[in-house]
């Protein structure tokens, strides 16, 4: 960055995390890491839970940023997703999912760093709310967020843009289910994340149980033909692909436990797949970002069927994890960026969407 940009990055930053997503614990871990890293780089930072809000007394927002509060307690991620009913009990039930003083602090910030994961923070609703309040934030705008979050819409856009993706169908709660569409399928909530509620199914009996599980989380479920292959993921920053990672769970598939429990998965970065396959995966990731109208950065998940030498895009994540075991920080490290530099790079890429709209 030049001197002008460096000066711009001495800022008041509100880091939003938590909320009422099934990925709440992951989000708090991400948010804590981001807040501490940005504070260490000289910014005035406050870490805020989207749902619980900020309840300490204060007179001015500037006072809160000067306090530099970057901890919400534990950052541990359990083996299972959190009990959201218990979280709801920590605040009066007023029907509002944005906690006290959240928008006030966001409006006072130079930039809001979104460390939220899951539908609540990534489906575009929060982004639209921040837009209506004149708040600048990291990551994609509301439209790209919404298109990427809904896996059924994403896959329709992939096909429209010639991006290979496994065959799939979308089921709605209460509608006729029909027979299992292939010998082996993956069943998952249509807008979920971190593989919560996801199952690999090999029999009609398993199919019924998998659908029941997925419908606990959402009213729409994606049923996708299973593709056997090597699991790859590629970050894209400002339209340019980052190094590829190969993901190798030590048991089972890359589910919630294998994503966040240390040592459960081997992650190879850069992926040992050769330059030609690397270039193909990176090109696909860049095409996905463009097709879904995603701004700033994202991470794209790909399966490589090596038997038939075909790559299939599964989905894009518009607010990738920033936990100690997350993948985007590993990609950045392979490019020579430490964690704090990555956080600032995300902010720099995010500023560009506002510069475009103002030019």
On whether both 113 and 246 belong to a single domain, the answer is: no
Tokens of 249: 């769970």
Residue 260 annotated to the active site: yes
How would residue 265 be classed by pLDDT, with cut points 50, 70 and 90? confident
Mark whether 320 and 255 lie in a shared domain. Answer: yes
Residue 52 sits in the same domain as residue 131: yes
Lowest mean pLDDT among 39-43, 71-75, 315-319, 340-344: 71-75
SS3 335: coil
Mean pLDDT is lowest, of 102-111, 170-179, 193-202, 219-228, for 193-202
Indicate if 301 belongs to the active site.
Answer: yes
Average pLDDT over residues 91-102: 90
Residue from 123, 317, 326, 350 carrying the catalytic annotation: 317
Q: Is 309 helix (H, G, I), strand (E, B) or coil?
A: coil
Q: Are residues 272 and 131 in the same domain?
A: no
Whether the predicted pLDDT of 146 surpasses 50: yes
Active-site choice (24, 36, 280, 299): 299
Residue 219 lies in a domain: yes
359 inside domain: no
Residues 266 and 158 in one domain: yes
List the CATH number of the domain containing 123. 3.40.50.20
Distance CA 158, CA 303 (A): 14
pLDDT greater than 50 at residue 1: no
The answer on pLDDT for 148 being more than 90 is yes
357 within domain boundaries: no
Is residue 193 domain-resident?
yes
Please write the tens of the pLDDT for every residue from 248-258.
977 555 444 44
CATH of the domain at 300: 3.30.470.20
Known catalytic membership, residue 54:
no
Claim to verify: residue 39 and residue 86 sit in the same structural domain:
yes
Name the residue range of residue 184's domain.
Answer: 168-225
Do 157 and 198 lie in a common domain?
A: no
19-32 burial, b for 16+ CB within 10 Å, e for fewer? bbbbbbbbbbbbbb
Q: Do the domain assignments include residue 348? A: no
Active-site annotation holder among 140, 194, 199, 326:
194
Beta strands in the chain (DSSP E): 12-17, 44-49, 111-114, 168-172, 185-189, 199-201, 220-225, 230-237, 240-249, 265-268, 297-305, 310-317
Instruction: Establish whether 123 is a catalytic residue.
Output: no
Which one of the listed residues 321, 326, 340, 350 is annotated catalytic? 321
Q: Do residues 128 and 213 both lie within one domain? A: no
Catalytic residue among 122, 231, 301, 344: 301
Q: Are 321 and 203 found together in one domain?
A: no
Whether 260 is covered by a domain: the verdict is yes
Q: Which of 54, 260, 297, 312 is catalytic?
A: 260
How does the average pLDDT of the chain come out, rounded?
Answer: 90
**186 and 47 part of one domain:** no
**344 assigned to some structural domain:** no
What pLDDT, on a 0 to 100 scale, did the predictor assign at position 255? 45
The DSSP bridge pattern shows strands 111-114 and 12-17 to be parallel
217 is catalytic: no
Is 63 an active-site residue?
A: no
pLDDT digits 0-9 by tens, 224-243: 999 999 999 999 999 999 99
Kindly report the CATH number assigned to the domain that includes residue 212.
3.30.1490.20
Q: Is residue 262, in this structure, part of any structural domain at all?
A: yes
117 plus 39 within the same structural domain: yes
Structural domains in the chain (count): 3
Q: Read off the pTM.
A: 0.90
Q: If residue 62 lies in a helix (H) or strand (E), which one and from where to where?
A: helix 61-67
pLDDT band for position 324 (cuts 50, 70, 90)? confident
Q: Is the pLDDT of residue 178 over 90?
A: no
């Amino acid at each position: 960055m030049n001197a002008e940009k460096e000066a711009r990055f001495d800022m008041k930053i509100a880091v939003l995390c938590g909320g009422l997503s099934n990925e709440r614990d992951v989000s708090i871990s991400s948010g804590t890491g981001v807040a501490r890293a940005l504070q260490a780089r000289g910014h005035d930072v406050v870490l805020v839970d989207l749902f619980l809000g900020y309840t300490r007394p204060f007179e001015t927002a500037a006072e809160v940023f000067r306090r530099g509060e970057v901890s919400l307690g534990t950052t541990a991620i359990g083996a299972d997703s959190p009990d959201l009913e218990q979280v709801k009990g920590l605040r009066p039930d007023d029907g509002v999912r944005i906690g006290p003083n959240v928008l006030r602090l966001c409006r006072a910030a130079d930039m809001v760093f979104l460390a939220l994961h899951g539908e609540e923070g990534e489906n575009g609703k929060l982004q639209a709310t921040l837009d209506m309040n004149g708040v600048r934030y990291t990551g994609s705008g509301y439209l790209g967020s919404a298109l990427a979050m809904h896996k059924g819409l994403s896959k329709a856009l992939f096909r429209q843009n010639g991006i290979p993706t496994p065959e799939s169908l979308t089921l709605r709660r209460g509608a006729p289910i029909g027979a299992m569409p292939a010998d082996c399928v993956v069943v998952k909530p249509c807008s979920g994340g971190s593989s919560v509620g996801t199952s690999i199914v090999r029999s009609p009996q398993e199919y019924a149980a998998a659908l029941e599980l997925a419908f606990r989380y959402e009213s729409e479920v994606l049923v996708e033909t299973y593709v056997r292959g090597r699991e790859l993921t590629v970050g894209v920053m400002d339209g340019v692909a980052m190094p590829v990672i190969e993901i190798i769970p030590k048991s089972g598939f890359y589910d919630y436990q294998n994503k966040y429990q240390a040592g459960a998965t081997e992650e190879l970065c850069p992926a040992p797949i050769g330059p030609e396959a690397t270039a193909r995966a990176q090109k696909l990731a860049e095409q996905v970002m463009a097709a879904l109208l995603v701004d700033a950065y994202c991470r794209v998940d790909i399966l490589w069927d090596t038997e038939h030498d075909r790559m299939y895009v599964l989905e894009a994540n518009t607010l990738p994890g920033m936990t100690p075991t997350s993948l985007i920080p590993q990609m950045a490290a392979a490019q020579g960026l430490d964690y704090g530099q990555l956080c600032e790079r995300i902010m720099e890429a995010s500023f560009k969407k506002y510069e475009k709209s103002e030019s």
